[in-house]
Amino acid sequence: MDAASIEEINKLRKAMGMKPLPVPGAPPPKEPTPDPDAGSTIESREAEGFDNYRKAQEAEQAKRRREEQKKAVMKAREMAQRNAVLEGKGIADMVSDEELDAKTWLKNQKKRQKKIDAEKREREEKEAAAKAKAEHTAADLAGVKVAHDLEEFLGADDQILTLKDTGVLENEDEGDELENLDLREREKLTEKLDLKKKKPLYDPNDIDETGERGILSHYDEEIDGKKKKTFTLDTSGAATDLADILNAPVQKRRHQVVDLDLLEDAPAPVSDYLDASEVKVKKPKKKKSKSTRRKADDDDVLFPGDQAVAGDADQQMEVDSGAVTYTKKRKVIEEDFADDDDLQTSLALQRKDALKKRKKTRPEDIARQLREEASQPPESEDGENGGLVIDEITEFVDALQAEREEDRKLPKPKNQKVVTKMEEESSDEDEEMKDVDHGHERGITPLADVPVTGVDEEKTVDQGLGATLALLKDRHLIEDQKGAEQNEKFRQRQKFLTELNRRMALFDEEARLQRERDRASGRHDRLSIREREELARQQNTMREQHQSRIMDQLFREGYKPNVELRYIDADGRSLDAKEAFKELSHQFHGKGSGKGKTDKRLKKLAEEKRRMAQSMLDASQNVGMSTAASHQGKKRKEAGVRLA
């Protein structure tokens, strides 16, 4: 291997990032190799030792130098301190400054004496105050609480009160309390006894003196804690609120004030049962007049001015005997509300009584009133004093009344006519029907102004028979039937019937002609009546035979009966064969299908009804598709959504 080729390879190796091969001619690459054997010989070790010694020496020297420096710093500081103390004035300097002679000293002596006296006085005062404090009087007890009810001290003789036993910090803000141990014991005992008594929670007789009674007041103790009866002492040692207690007015019990007059005025409570005194046996004779009278009463109560007019009307009605029919009608109406009949009647009675009580106007009174009015001068007529005032309301009521009268009159002529003529009533009815028809037509006026949208418009019934048919077909409410076949059948039948009629007529005509001929020929003249009859019978039988033969033939060739069994259930739906069978079966066996089946059937019916009522264009059910379109799609098994 020559060096050139190796170098060439090295280039490649260098490019690939590999270690180059050693070239034989080139010197080996230098590498800094550490001294492999340091301290391996005695000499080298000695040299190391010397080095070490020198290092130690140096360290020691450095230490010493540092300590020296420290000492120097300390010394300097001490010196500075010493100098600082020595600065400032000495006592001698101060003395030397003040010029102190006997005169000034004497002057100052007075001041000094004064000062000393003041101090002395102050000290004495303080001592006196301390002494005063040490003495305990009634004034010190001012504002101290006593934890007992004041009443307990009222009757009794001297009592010894002690400070209540509590923690030091317990009642810091409330202050000290005094109590009597004996009293305290007694209170505890009574409390225990009360608890043992098992009192009821609510005592109606135990009404608070003040009249204030909280809701569920027996829980107040548990919620707010026990209410302590305390009082405070004042400077004289007496209780502060003693005066208050003595001066307080005796509070009376509050009574609930009930005004009995009001109760008198109020209507008596309605009894469910009729009072025995109220029950009256009605006389049938008076019934008529009573009913009219009642009407009059109602009217005059409401509109006292119209009494005369109303009475007139009533009289008229009596003449017409229309009142009887009216009452009858009313009875029927009342029977409709039979469920609370008693209640209604009792209420009505009560109402009537109230109205009567409020204003009783009898015809005599009114007559008297009228007379008075007539006697009075007309200018005094203000309308205030029960005169006839015609305003809007009365006019309205008059109109109402007039109408009612007409109503009452109306049945009368009809009744009469019923007896005499039947046709007129029927004609009347016809008119009514017409009216109804008119109304009907008005009800289904065509919707001309329906907004035209892009959607094809739904056909409506008013557009004609064709449109109706189309509508029904669209909704699948009627099935396509074999129209042609049915038509053919119908025509056949019609033809048959006409033929039959024609033949019958022909036959009759022939018979008549023959009879005529016989009569004309005078054949019967020779015969006796019996013979004549015999002959006629013979001829009749012959004719009948002939006729029946012809008829038979006709029926044989022309008559095709159209048998159609139709079943209609209770709701008016036409049933198909299966349903009809079920229905019949149920009827026969006397029991229907079970709950599940019935429910299913009802659901189906409801669905059908809904479908029939649904609009063709209603998109709510099948989104985006009209019913017809969706049906079509289902038939063709296509899926799709109508976008517009």
Partner 1 sequence: MIIVTVNDRLGTKAQIPALPSDTIKQFKVMVAMKIGREPHEILLKRQGERPFKDILTLSEYGISNGVQIDLEVDAGD
Question: Segment contacting partner 1 (CB under 8 A): 1-9, 60-68, 95-103, 304-312?
Answer: 1-9
- Taking only Cα atoms into account, the Rg of the chain, rounded to an integer number of angstroms, comes to 67
> For residues 2 and 372, which CB has a smaller minimum distance to partner 1 in the complex?
2
The dihedral built from the CA positions of residue 623, 624, 630 and 634, taken in this order, carries a sign that is: negative
Near partner 1 in 96-135, by CB under 8 A? none
> For residues 22 and 267, which CB has a smaller minimum distance to partner 1 in the complex?
22
> For residues 13 and 473, which CB has a smaller minimum distance to partner 1 in the complex?
13
Near partner 1 in 22-41, by CB under 8 A? 22
Q: In the numeric block, which tokens belong to residue 42?
A: 């005695």
* 8 A C-beta contact, residue 558 and residue 499: yes
**Shortest Cβ distance from residue 19 to partner 1 (Å)?**
6
**Shortest Cβ distance from residue 20 to partner 1 (Å)?**
9
For residue 276, give Cα distances in angstroms to 229, 271, 344: 64, 12, 19
> For residues 24 and 451, which CB has a smaller minimum distance to partner 1 in the complex?
24
> For residues 16 and 613, which CB has a smaller minimum distance to partner 1 in the complex?
16
Sequence-distant (6+) residues with CB within 8 A of 633 are 625, 639, 640
309 binds partner 1 (CB under 8 A): no
Site string for partner 1, 4-23 (x = CB under 8 A): -xx--x--xx--x-xx-xx-
d(CA 613, CA 621): 13
Q: In the numeric block, which tokens belong to residue 422?
A: 């039947």
**Shortest Cβ distance from residue 6 to partner 1 (Å)?**
6
**Shortest Cβ distance from residue 21 to partner 1 (Å)?**
5
**Shortest Cβ distance from residue 34 to partner 1 (Å)?**
25
Burial class (CB in 10 A: 0-12, 13-18, 19+), 301: middle
**Shortest Cβ distance from residue 33 to partner 1 (Å)?**
22
> For residues 13 and 417, which CB has a smaller minimum distance to partner 1 in the complex?
13
Question: Segment contacting partner 1 (CB under 8 A): 2-10, 197-205, 349-357, 396-404?
Answer: 2-10
State which amino acid sits at residue 298.
D
> For residues 24 and 204, which CB has a smaller minimum distance to partner 1 in the complex?
24
Tell me which H or E stretch contains 231.
Answer: strand 231-232
Sequence-distant (6+) residues with CB within 8 A of 323 are 288, 291, 292, 314, 317, 408
The percent of the chain in helix, strand and coil, each rounded to the nearest 5, is 65, 0, 35
Count residues contacting partner 1 (CB under 8 A)? 11
Q: Is 294 helix (H, G, I), strand (E, B) or coil?
A: helix
Q: In the numeric block, which tokens belong to residue 413?
A: 């002529």
**Shortest Cβ distance from residue 32 to partner 1 (Å)?**
23
For residue 467, give Cα distances in angstroms to 225, 451, 464, 549: 89, 19, 5, 49
Residue appearing with tokens 């004042």: 234
Q: What is the DSSP letter of 572?
A: S
**Shortest Cβ distance from residue 22 to partner 1 (Å)?**
6
**Shortest Cβ distance from residue 29 to partner 1 (Å)?**
14
> For residues 9 and 150, which CB has a smaller minimum distance to partner 1 in the complex?
9
φ and ψ at residue 145, rounded to 5 degrees: -85, 150
| Cα of 347 vs its chain's centroid, Å | 33
**Shortest Cβ distance from residue 25 to partner 1 (Å)?**
13
**Shortest Cβ distance from residue 18 to partner 1 (Å)?**
6
* Residue 523: closest CA among 538, 510, 509: 538
* 8 A C-beta contact, residue 233 and residue 176: no
* 8 A C-beta contact, residue 358 and residue 304: no
Count of other CB atoms within 10 angstroms of residue 299? 19
> For residues 3 and 399, which CB has a smaller minimum distance to partner 1 in the complex?
3
| Cα of 316 vs its chain's centroid, Å | 55
Residues in contact with partner 1 by CB under 8 A are 1, 5-6, 9, 12-13, 16, 18-19, 21-22
